[in-house]
Structure 1
Amino acid sequence: MNELIVRIAARGDGVTATGRHVPFVVPGDAVLDDGALAFGPHHQAPPCRHFPECGGCQLQHADDEAYIGYLSSRIELALAQHGLETEIRPPHLSPPRSRRRATLKALKLGRGAVVGFNAEKSHRIVDMQECHILRPELFALVAPVRGLFTQLLKPKQVAEAQLTLIDGGADVLLRNVSAADLPALQALTDFAGTYGLARLSIDSGNGPETMYEPVPATVSLSGAQVTFPHGAFLQATADGQETLVECVRECAAGSKAIADLFAGLGTFALATGAAYAAEAARDSAAALKRAAPTMQVDHRDLYRRPLDSSELSGFGAVVLDPPRAGAEQQVDQLAASAVPRIAYVSCNPATFARDARRLADGGYRLEWVKPVGQFRWSTHVELAACFAR
């Protein structure tokens, strides 16, 4: 009997009503009796020649309606596993070619080099000839970076290029690369000048070393110019960041004092006028302090030393934006606090749902969740949520 695909699982496979997993299908497709596939109205032709070999995307065969449904269902299922449900708002989906940061792998082979993302479930590098997720300014650097690695790397040497668009252009950090002689130094400076980089740095294993930075590297956040440390975190797309900021502002609106925990460079602290911010990365905390000298910025590891309920007592709202592991230790303290509102930004529905259960058990109500698809066509789901007592 034919089986209809009813949803997309966490890792991108289609799932039938009987629980059968089938790769590269979407809801509305069908598995026929003979094992052949019949594509439905939401199955599209993948736009990129590298799909599905390249690991940068897993769902290019899903049209926007199917992909948006996937974003919502991931969150609904994660919450349901912890006995929770709430309003799931219409997802925000970043458009193609909007990703402003990426880390590309490189390998010297023969007289050339391959540069791109790893193949799906493999360490093999897919040599990038086109890309439908990167901003055009970043994709334009792929071929020049390939040429630079061809000059700098030894045979079979691996390296990586971390590319980020900031105020002055592209910030490029090359890892496992050294400038051991004058030709290498010249190649690096020529590359940076020719392509108008905001900054070029190398890391040969002892930390990043700036090779070219005509003006201080900064990123603008809510009108403030913030120093951009090497490898600092930045939301993947500008429109995704704007959506998350709007959600956080809505949740925290009217609060007398706001604390931003896991603050990074201050994406949400600066947007909300937070009174307090805590961040574990020393360089990011220092950059935020310089950008907002009147804000109390605490260099603090919230996994080892979360704010306790007494420290939280003076805040009308708390913003949380933890790494993928979630914020279990800090959430336990929030659950025991009297903070009226919590805006939670997450890049992992599973750990978010776990933390949401703890907050609910502590007396919070999960008012709504907004899915955000910054990593278009991938299985990576982000969200903003609002809790209230």
Structure 2
Amino acid sequence: MSDDLIVRIAARGDGVTASGRHVAGAAPGDAICSDGSILPGPHRAVPPCPHFGLCGGCQLQHVDDAALADFVGDRVTGPLAAKDIVARDVRPVHLSPPRSRRRASLRYVRKGGQVTLGFAGQGSHDLVDIRTCEIVTPRLHDVMMAVRTLVSNWPEVRISGSVDLTEIDQGVDVLITGIAPKTLAQHEMLSGFAEAQKLARLSIDQGFGPETQYEPVPATITFGDIAVRFPQASFLQATRDGEEVLATAAREALDGCRMVADLFAGLGSFAFHLIAPGRRIYAAEAARDPILALKAAADARQLPVFTEHRDLFRNPVQRDMLNRLDGLVLDPPRAGAEEQVRAIAGSSISRVCYVSCNPATFARDARILCDAGFVLDTLWPVGQFRWSTHVELASLFVRQS
């Protein structure tokens, strides 16, 4: 194999040759010429977005789906291999399609009559003005463009802030910082914008927490068939199809378990998908508003879901409680769940479904489980962050008798 041929994509999106040379913007199969130029190979694709290369939202629009799937799979299995862990079964990579992302966080700046609204640039904090986006849902895209008009027409000349957009059951939930309605006309301007865009909800945060300006009916998100009240800017999996793949993995991993736990439960995206006859579920979450929403939804349907507002970093669930469980699912933030995993390793629990958005901390925690007698039975790589170097995964660890 020639040293000037790109053989894989590195963690940050660079192409890598067999000799270890990194080349920005190269795709697997590309040849690197002596002058440093790139001769396109079979896995190079035409980036669909005019902002690619400037906007930091996407790093991999220049590769085809086959190379993108290989990248996601390698990002998941590579850190495990470095810890001498090999999964018994690695499922095919799931890639979310373009225009499927249902949440986005943007920044904006208005100086005079000019508005810049978009994402941070590649490798910088500079704001890139976005006029189109190929990853968000069509409805989210329409609202993004409408927010630009709202900011352009706002009475104050110099303003800056952020915009959080989430597509939920009733439409798009919008949370804006940086504008402060002070007059009746300004409040009417906001409500008129929300009505015209048919928003699920519009909230303004002036530094004291979200204040709802418009919400014609309660804002909810549905997991399975359970509608849950949606607190502003709450966490959701990036895409609906990604959530379903992860939930299906959890159902398969915990099949037959009668007493299960959902740790780092959020709004209940796993707990409610795990509802089954004869099963009881304990859900723990550190964020107050999500766990209260989860509890309210479970209580309203009289479901066997028991909740606890609990910081699992400071106060992990301990062995005496874990020993009562048949299995659990945990979905920690990027930092992983080292202390909680150590408690799990020291318990008698036999099945663990670990969901992660960080392959490095996942591999660290996986080593703890394997050293305690678990084997990594199944791995589900999920590319729900389309064209990004970020990946998701689900896994099943089974304790050996």
Under a length normalisation based on structure 2, what TM-score does the superposition of the two structures give?
A: 0.95
Match of 2:347 among 337, 340, 361: 337
Q: Which ranges of structure 1 fall in alignment gaps of 5 or more residues?
A: none
1:79-98 equivalences under 5 Å are 79-86=80-87, 87-98=89-100
Q: List alignment gaps of at least 5 residues for structure 2.
A: none
- Rounded to whole Å, the distance in 2 between the matches of 1:378 and 1:159 is 24
Change in 2 beyond 3 A, CA 1:5/1:156: farther
Tell me, yes or no, if structure 1 residue 11 matches structure 2 residue 17: no
Aligned to 1:60: 61
* Paired amino acid for 1:52: G
Correspondence 1:243-322 to 2 at 5 A: 243-273=245-275, 274-293=280-299, 294-322=304-332
Contact 1:55–1:121 (CA under 8 A) maintained in structure 2: yes
Residues 12, 32 of structure 1: CA spacing in aligned structure 2 closer, same or farther, 3 A cutoff? same
Residue identity in the other structure for 2:377 = E
Alpha-carbon distance, 1:83 to partner: 1.4
Q: CA deviation at 1:156?
A: 4.6
Aligned length: 389
Q: 1:105 deviation in Å? A: 1.0
Tell me, in whole angstroms, the C-alpha distance in 1 between the residues paired with 2:106 and 2:64.
26
**Quick check: 375-384 or 21-30, which moved more?**
21-30
Partner residue of 2:151 out of 149, 153, 156? 149
2:161 counterpart residue number = 159
Q: 5 Å matches for 1:1-389? A: 3-86=4-87, 87-152=89-154, 154-273=156-275, 274-293=280-299, 294-389=304-399
Preserved contact between residue 2 and residue 30 of structure 1 (Cα < 8 Å): no
Question: Per-residue displacement from partner, 1:340-365 (whole Å, max 9, x unpaired)?
Answer: 10011101111111110011011111
C-alpha distance after superposition, 1:327-352 (max 9, x if no partner) = 11100000101111001110111111
**Amino acid of the structure 2 residue aligned with 1:111:** G
In 1, the alpha carbon distance for the partners of 2:183 and 2:10 equals 51
8 Å contact kept, 1:2–1:33: no
Q: CA deviation at 1:154?
A: 4.1
Identity of aligned residues (%): 51
**1:151, CA displacement in angstroms?**
2.8
Q: Which amino acid aligns with 1:71?
A: V
Letter in 1 for 2:180: S
8 A Cα contact 2:327 2:349, kept in partner:
yes
* Offset from partner CA, 1:150-204 (integer Å, 9 cap, x none): 2337445321110001111010000222112223212111101111111000101
> In 2, Cα distance between the equivalents of 1:116 and 1:13?
24
CA RMSD of aligned residues (A): 1.2
Describe the superposition over 1:264-285 as per-residue Cα deviations: whole angstroms up to 9, x where unpaired: 0001111112520000011111
